[in-house]
Structure formats: structure tokens, C-alpha cells
Structure 1
Amino acid sequence: MINLLYAGNSGVFDGLIIGALSYIKHNKNAANVYILTMDYTEKNPRFTPITEADRAFLEAIYRKANDESRVFLIDAGDYYKKEMPDSPNSETGYTPYTFLRLFADIIPGIPEKILYLDTDTLIADDLSELYSADISEYELAAALDYYGHHFLGHNYFNAGVLLLNMKSIRESGLFRRAVAACAKKKIFLPDQTALNRLVKKKLLLPAKYNEQKHFRDDTVIQHFSKTILWLPYFHTRNIKPWQTEAVQTVLTKKYDDILEEYKKMKLIYEKELHRGEIPIFFACDDNYLPYLAVALKSLILHADNKRKYHIYVLCDSVNAEMAAKITAMATENVKAEFVSVTEKMASILGKMRLRDYYTPSIYYRIFIAKMFPEFDKAIYIDADIVLNDDIAKLFDTELGGNLLGVVPDAIIASTQLFRDYAELGLGIRYDRYFNSGVLLMNLHGMREYDVEGKFLYLLNRYHFNTVCPDQDYLNVICRDKVLYLDEGWDKMSLNENYPGVPSLIHYNMFNKPWYYDNVPYDAYFWKYCEGTPFEAEIKAGKAAYGEEKMAIDKAGGENLCAQVTVIINDENNFRRVLCEDEDGEEAAGELVAC
């Protein structure tokens, strides 16, 4: 029997899957796996715990190799919140979960001998020799830290792999003293440095038991830790095992079999976990979180209590306190969580053209299909909306072979200049140009058609000038592959000429009721705003929105119209390059159908 210890939240579940798959590939011994976790969403909405469903899935993997293997899930939250609630180290680059292992000495049921592994490790060989090492005279055994033993002390060890003698640790009080040190004073690499300073008896292990830099044949545990690179300039690289494409293309192909199996199993698990849910995506930054709360409230009020709704808020970095207010709005059948797209956006951010009224978040919707392979169908909605109907009705719409369900853009149809933009700038009939603020998405079809790949190709090759960046690209790429929906599912606040109550009102462009009076359908916004956690802030923002800011909006509108004219006459706009220019059409291949 080999006892393993991990610690983390739902964000490292992928690492636990890879750890389990790598264990059963090389080890036939039964494993008792102890996972320390906690719900710490009051601190950060992303700090959600490993769940019982996660535990059962992991145990099933371990039992493939040995039916006696077991996985135990332990809530360590009370220990942490009691002893380290205001630790100055909780706001560093490391999450609070890195400290949970320091409570293993006081958590009931932890074995006397146990091997702790960071969730970014991968088991590359049989653990028997390591686990059988005699540490009866030591508190722990560890390998040197690749960089630390040069700069922080010649015996400075890495804490990502620790063979622990819990009896000796309890007797020496090592973990208790380490917790006390981390709770009071900010420390560089806090828990690791505290253990290095305070341990009295340690056994240094060969590097093969915690290989942090190289990919060697004799490696037993591969640790995907941060690496320093000196050329072509000083920088760091921090690729984790679940970032499979980067591992396989940048680091090594040594673990391809494990990583490919991980991708298959994760997809199966996610599909089963979310069976029957309606996935609804928003994209947001801090500026729009108050209005997202209004949209979410309207969605919840009209949700069918017999259906399950799962809200995913795609973001880069958001204010944790504000995000926590959003997730706290969740109900029994409407879940809400924030999903970071930082890594996805890093490689393309510099290539994006953004108007003054847009942020990079407008592009997030293009990546949903590949980021969430567990879903074949979903809804994307901008945050500046309110719902007067059950969003499930939109989700239930049959798309057939179309990639998107959309509504024609009323703003484009409202003036001749914008009509010319669609037809002369993009090569699309103005009445077929759709708004991308509400999208019923055939994610399976979008993956098959490679919408993301086509977008990146056009972005990198042509870098078109646009006024509605993501929207223009989607209109061009998905041309003739969309289902046009009733205007009531994306009724823009240009006028109130819709017969009846629109199912969804879209406060598009500058016409925002939280800034201006007499906006069409503004009564619905204020109706749903009431009682939201940001009601006072929204009302204060409106009161403070004076002539100076309105003048900026007016200038922005004028600049938009001027830019439209420029693009219409641009020799390198979408229509001329992709639909008229022979070289451009040939280069684009079958990307678009003009």
C-alpha cells in the first residue's frame, strides 16, 4: 500500500486526473489517496472545493490498476480558517491551498507515512523504491530545489514532493511551527521556505524523485514547475501538465500517452457531469460586473425550476469581492462560476484591434467551442441585457446544421452608412448581418468547421480593420450557416416598436439606461436592478454621469462613423480582400463563402 497526499481546489482537478493516470501506468500497488480541499469562495469565487463526484471519478481510475485503492476527500477548511485567516502570504502568487498540507499532522486519519505530491507532478516510474526509503530517523525526505539550492542555501529543498514521517513531524512540531511562521510574516515561497528553515532532520533525495527541469529517462516523478530561461532574453516559463498542447509542442512528447488518455477521460467526465444543464456564457470585466448582476437576476427570475442552468463568466482577472457577489446570487438550479481565459488570450492580444468602447472580452465568445468540448450546444449573451422570458426556450430552438442562431443587427439596418458598411466593407447583405451579443451556438458544428482556427488565420494573415471586431469576423466566417431568430430574442434599445414584450432586451452601444434617461425599455432594467448587490453603485454611477462623459460618448459615436467610412473605402477590407481580390480569395481558400 502506498499513501499519497494532495491538496487543492477544483482548479487543479485536471492535475489530479493526470496524477492518477500516471500512477496506475507505473504502479500496481494499491494506493490510499488523501485529498485536502476547502470551500474558500468568500475569498475568491474560483476557490471552489474538489467535490464528491470528483473523488469518485478519481477513485475509479486508481481502482483500474488495483481494486483495493481508495481516494479520501478531506475538508481542511476549518483548520486553515482558524489558524491562517489573515495570513500575509494568502495574497501572494500561491493559493491558500498550498498551506493545507501543513495541517496533515492534526487532521485525523492521515497515515504515519505518506508521500505528498503537488498537483503539477506526474509519476514517471514505479514509486516503490522511493516509498520504501527508511525515514524513521527523519521528519521528511525531499529533493533539492533546482534553483533554490543555488540561491537560497545549498541544502534548500523543493516542497513539491515530500516523503513525510508524520510521527516525527508531530513530535517535533514542524508543521505547527511552519503554520505559525506563515500566519504572521510574509515569506518568499512561504510554506516551502518555512519548512526549509524549521526542519531539524531531513533526508535529501536524488533529483530523479522530483525532476523540476529536465526530461530524463530515469525520472520517477516529473515536476512541471516554473523554469527560468535566459535566451533570447531573460524570462520564465510555467507550463503545467494539463496544458497538453504546450507540453507536447514545447516541452516533451515523453508523456503523450498519459496526456491523450487524460483528455479523453476528462471529456467523458465533463459530459456526464453537465448532462441536462443549459450552459450560458457571459464575457465580463470589472466594469460590467454590476450590470451582469442585473442580467443574472432577470435570468433567474424567469428560469424554469425544473431545468438546470449553468452560468460561465469568461474573464481575465476580476475583482474577487465583486465576483463573489455574482456567484452568491446562484440558486438551487442556477449555478454561476468564473472561468479565466488569460492563458488563451495571451498569444493573440497584441494582434487585436479594439475600438474605445470595446475590451478584449468581446473576443472570448469565439473560443467557447474549443475551450468547452464537453458541450455541443450553448448560449452566449452580452452582459448589457435583461431577460423577460425563460432562456431555456432559446436553448431548445433546433439549429439543424447551422452554426449559430442569431438576430439581424438593428443598428446596422438603422442608417445607410451602416448598411454600406455591411455590404461594401464586409460583403454581407445588411439585413443578414447579425448581432453577436446573443448567440445560440452549435458548439459541435463550430468545432467541426473550425471557427476558431478560421478566425485566427484571418486575424494573423490580414489583420482587418473593423468597427465590431468579433461580430464582423463571425459574420464573415459563419455566412450562410446561421438560423435567424425572432427579433424578440435580441431586441435592441433603439425603439419600442416590438409587438409585445421582448424576450431579451439588449442595451447595445452607447444607449445604456444606467447612464442616460429615456432609453427605450429602461423600465425593465431598473425593475431587475432593484435588490441586486450593486443597485446603489449603479444608481450612483448614473447620477455621476455628467456632460463631460456624455461628450466623450458623442465623440466616440462620431469617431465610429468616421471609421466606418474609412473601412468602406479601404482597399484591404473584408469584401475586397476575400471576395474580390484573386490573391486574397486564393489565400483564404475555403475559409469563407463570398
Structure 2
Amino acid sequence: MNILYCGDAHMADGLLISTLSLTKHYQAPIHVYVLTANIHTQNRDFQALGQDAVTVVQEQLHDVNPLSSAELIDITDIFTANPPTVNMDTRFTPYCMLRLYSDLVPQLPDRLLYLDTDIVCRESPQHFYDQDLTGTEFVGVLDHYGKWFFHSQLRALDYVNSGMMLMNMPQIRKTQLFVRCRRVCATVKMFMPDQSALNKLADTKRLAPRRFNEQRRLHRNTVFQHFTTSFRFFPWVHTLSVKPWEVDRVHSDLHLHEYDDVLSEYAEIKHIAK
């Protein structure tokens, strides 16, 4: 199974938790690829993820299956050669757009499951991963909130959350989907630029059931839970954003203990590493 993550130096905790959750439910070889870059904008400087974080992940993968691997790929040069110019200083970091450069990385395999680092695996994703992708650029799940407000077709709910995508790289290269997305991100300022571009330009995306990217709350059939920002209406209308590595808040704010074994393992690894 080939897994793609993207991000900067702040993604280490999420990367570790997400991969630990995968190994709990999938013991066959897992090949993790991590795209990172040093990115400097007019207002902010971002540092690439270091090799030490990926080495820790590789050690955990090897403990479960010696054939697994983890590779850090610095694409600073690729990114700076063709930056998403007008979207470099939005409320979302430029790292959300790194996945749009994956077609330019030759060592990446043809089939990739992209995951945000705030996604935790709850059940085996093998059946989902192995599905036929003929003629499909990527498979994703509707965005929990965006599906009501953003549409590519007026007659249908079709706005996909880009935090989990099963990507068919040969088809993406054939249709030049990421090429076109990068062009739009460079010239048109957008809300959630990578997600907006993918939804606007994809020719052959396919929708999967909600359980493969659950963005609201845990259900009995959830495969991937995505710790996104959500709206809460009691005791007042407010947003709630809790990430998996905020373990105390996962318990106190979300009242969630489903992943305590994974989070305990994560905490132990972090303690040993100090």
C-alpha cells in the first residue's frame, strides 16, 4: 500500500499517529512517501520536515513489517520553480498545495492514497485501496460542509474533500489535472485553493461513501476519521478544532477514546525520543 503525506516541520506528530493507526489495521507492506519543502512567502517562512521524523516512522513501520518503508522527498526546487503565486498567503498554508506537484516526482508509484496528517485509520482500507481506478483520476468523499455550498454541477452534490484521495497518477498525468490545478492556483485566488482547483478541474473523479473520510463524528463503520474543524451549536454557535496529537482535548472536548491505544503508543514514542 502506497501512502502519500505532505507538509512542513509541524507535521511530525500527525504523521506518526496516522501511520501508527495504519499499521494497526494493515500489516502488509506500507510504503510511505512524504513531500516537503522550504517555503518562504511575503509574510511567513515555513521549514521543511526533517529526516528524523521520517526515520521514526520508518522504524515503527519496520516493527510491523520489515518490507515497509518511509521516504522523505524534498520538492523545494520543484515548488519554487512554479509557485501558486496568488495563493501563497491565504489562511491555509502553501503546503496544502504540495500534493498538486506529485505528478512531477518520478519516484512516486502509480497508485497513491493521499492522507492529511490529521486523519486516523480505524479499519483496514485495503478494499478501498484495491478498487479499480480505470479511467478515474481520483476517488474521494464529499466535503461535509462544502458539499452544500460548492458545486461543479448544479444538479448534484459533488464537492470532494481533498484530505483523503485515492489517486491514479497515470490518469492524472494523462488529463494534466495537476498541471491545470497548479496553473489556476498561480493565477486565481481561492478559498481552500487546492481543494477548489481539484473540484473545479477534475474530469473523472469518483465519489466514495462517507465512512472513508468521516469529517464530523465517529460511526460504527468509519474507516478513516478526519479531525477537521466543525461547527457546534451548544451552548452557543462556535467552531471546534481538535487534532489527534492534542490527546487531552481529544478526550475532554470530543469525548473520544476510540484511538487510545494508538495515542498511548504515540505518547510513549515521543517520551523515548526526548
Task: Report the 3-state secondary structure (helix = DSSP H, G, I; strand = E; otherwise coil) of the residue aligned with 1:155.
Answer: coil
The Cα of 1:232 is off from its aligned counterpart by 2.5
2:154 counterpart residue number: none
Cα distance in 1, alignment partners of residues 233 and 122 from structure 2: 28
Distance 1:22 1:144 in 2: 23
Partner letter of residue 113 of structure 2?
L
Q: State yes or no: 1:59 paired with 2:58.
A: yes
Say which of 192, 195, 200 aligns to 1:197: 200
> SS state of the match for residue 114, structure 1?
strand
8 Å CA contact 2:21, 2:122 repeated in 1: yes
Q: Kindly indicate whether residue 211 of structure 2 is the aligned counterpart of residue 214 of structure 1.
A: no
What residue number does 2:89 align with?
Answer: 91
Instruction: Determine the structure 2 residue equivalent to 1:177.
Output: 180
Give the deviation of 1:234 after TM superposition: 2.0
Partners in 1 of 2:217 and 2:235 — Cα distance?
A: 19
CA distance in structure 2 between the partners assigned to 1:43 and 1:37 by the alignment: 19
Q: Deviations over 1:249-290 (max 9, x none)?
A: 221111111111111111212x2xxxxxxxxxxxxxxxxxxx
Q: State the identity %.
A: 37
- Name 2:232's counterpart in structure 1: 229
Which entry has the higher C-alpha Rg, 1 or 2? 1
TM-score calculated relative to the size of structure 1? 0.44
Structure ranking higher on relative contact order (CA contacts 8 Å, 6+ apart): 2
C-alpha contact (below 8 Å) 1:89/1:182 kept by paired residues:
yes
The residue that corresponds to 1:248 in the other structure is: 251
Match of 1:452 in 2: none
Structure 2 CA distance, aligned partners of 1:99 and 1:162?
14
CA distance in structure 1 between the aligned counterparts of 2:57 and 2:190, rounded to whole angstroms? 34
Contact 2:42-2:89 at 8 Å conserved across structures = no
Cα pair 2:41 2:88 within 8 Å, conserved: no
Within 5 Å, give how 1:80-479 maps onto structure 2: 80-84=79-83, 87-153=85-151, 154-251=157-254, 252-269=256-273, 271=274
The answer to whether the 8 Å contact 1:135/1:203 transfers is no
Q: Say what the alpha-carbon RMSD is for the aligned residues.
A: 1.4
Alignment partners' CA distance in 2, 1:222 and 1:130: 15
CA drift of 1:231 comes to 2.6
TM-superposition CA deviations, 1:65-115 (whole Å, max 9, x none): 111000011011111111116x22121121111111101111111111110
1:21-55 deviations in Å (ceiling 9; x for gaps): 10111111101110000122576776221112222
For residues 98-144 of structure 1, the C-alpha deviation after alignment (integer angstroms, 9 at most, x for no partner) is 11110111111111111000011011111111101111120000011
Query: What is the distance in 1 between the residues matched to 2:104 and 2:45?
Result: 27
Structure 1: how far apart are the matches of 2:41 and 2:60?
Answer: 32
TM-score, with normalisation over the residues of structure 2?
0.94
Structure 1: unaligned runs, 5 residues or longer = 272-594
Distance in 2 separating the partners of 1:221 and 1:75: 27
Where do 5+ consecutive residues of structure 2 fail to align? Answer: 152-156
CA distance in structure 2 between the partners assigned to 1:127 and 1:43 by the alignment: 40
Q: Distance in 2 between matches of 1:37 and 1:227?
A: 27
Task: Give the SS at the match of 1:195.
Answer: helix
- In structure 2, what is the Cα distance between the partners aligned to 1:89 and 1:108? 25
Q: Tell me the equivalent position of 2:26.
A: 27
Q: Hey, what does 2:78 align to over in structure 1? A: 79
User: Equivalent residue for 1:5?
Assistant: 4
CA 1:80/1:148 → structure 2, altered by over 3 Å: closer, same or farther?
same
| Contact kept in structure 2, 1:11 and 1:46, CA below 8 Å | no
Residue 49 (structure 1) aligns with: 48
Kindly provide the amino acid, as one letter, of the partner of residue 261 in structure 2. D
| One-letter amino acid of the counterpart of residue 150, structure 1 | W
Separation in 1, partners of 2:186, 2:231: 29
Q: Is the 8 A contact 2:216 2:228 kept in 1?
A: yes
